[in-house]
Amino acid sequence: MPQEVYGVLSIVMSIVFIALAWWALQSFRFEKIVKHPQGAQAKLLQILLSIVIGYEVSRFFLDYLGWSMTFGNLFS
């Protein structure tokens, strides 16, 4: 896979998984663990959690893609 394609794929997958993490965290009941769930600090916490979770899931799938591509070269 060309380096440019991999770079674009990495950016797109990171953004998609961050958005999915944000969407999933919307169902989480933050009022159980934070004092002011509608405050700026709680929203910042949601954003940071979304970035961390989305980035890690994206890295997993990109690593898996890289591993599967190198695995194909094993038998050639």
| Spatial distance between the Cα atoms of 33 and 61, rounded to a whole number of angstroms | 30
pLDDT band at 76 (very low <50, low <70, confident <90, very high): low
What's the pTM value of the predicted model, to 2 decimals?
0.83
For residue 71, the model assigns a pLDDT of 80
pLDDT digits (tens, 9 = 90+) for 18-58: 999 999 998 988 778 888 878 888 889 999 999 999 999 99
Question: Does the pLDDT of residue 72 top 80, yes or no?
Answer: no
| Spatial distance between the Cα atoms of 76 and 68, rounded to a whole number of angstroms | 14
Unique residue bearing structure tokens 């990171």:
14
Nearest residue to 56 via CA among 17, 24, 22: 17
Q: Locate the domains of the chain by residue range.
A: 3-64
Nearest residue to 55 via CA among 63, 45, 65, 67: 63
Whether the Cβ atoms of residue 54 and residue 17 lie closer than 8 Å to each other: yes
